[in-house]
Amino acid sequence: MKMQKEMKKYCPKCKKHEIHGVGIYKKGKDRKAAEGARRHAEDKKGYGGQKFPELKRTAKTTKKITLRYTCKTCKRQTMKEGMRLRKLEIQ
């Protein structure tokens, strides 16, 4: 799918349609010492440590892409989740 670099879209902060920049959201790096990560590591320890079946191969052939819109006037960022695409081109 092809997307334009800028588009006019409703901004919840300006409360009207403004020009937004379009980008792709990327997940940040996981912290190793986060509470959930430490708990998970503790759960996996020892004999029979795996709590749920490990995913060997996924059924899906695509990944969900989250778009991030940035308002050019107030810099407010909004996201649009959940588009399954093989490939996204921003031009």
- Say if CB 18 and CB 73 are below 8 A apart: yes
Instruction: Give the helix/strand (H/E) hosting 90.
Output: strand 89-90
> Please, which residues have CB within 8 angstroms of residue 54's CB and are 6 or more apart in sequence?
none
Stretch that binds Zn ion, among 29-37, 42-50, 74-82, 83-91 (CB under 5 A): 74-82
| For Zn ion, the closer CB: 41 or 74 | 74
Least CB distance to Zn ion at residue 76 (A): 5
Of the two residues 14 and 34, which places its CB atom closer to Zn ion in the complex?
A: 14
Minimal distance in Å, beta carbon 17 to Zn ion? Answer: 10
Q: How far apart are CA 3 and CA 43, in angstroms?
A: 43
Instruction: Please report, as ranges, the residues that interact with Zn ion according to CB under 5 A.
Output: 11, 13-14, 18, 71, 73-74, 76
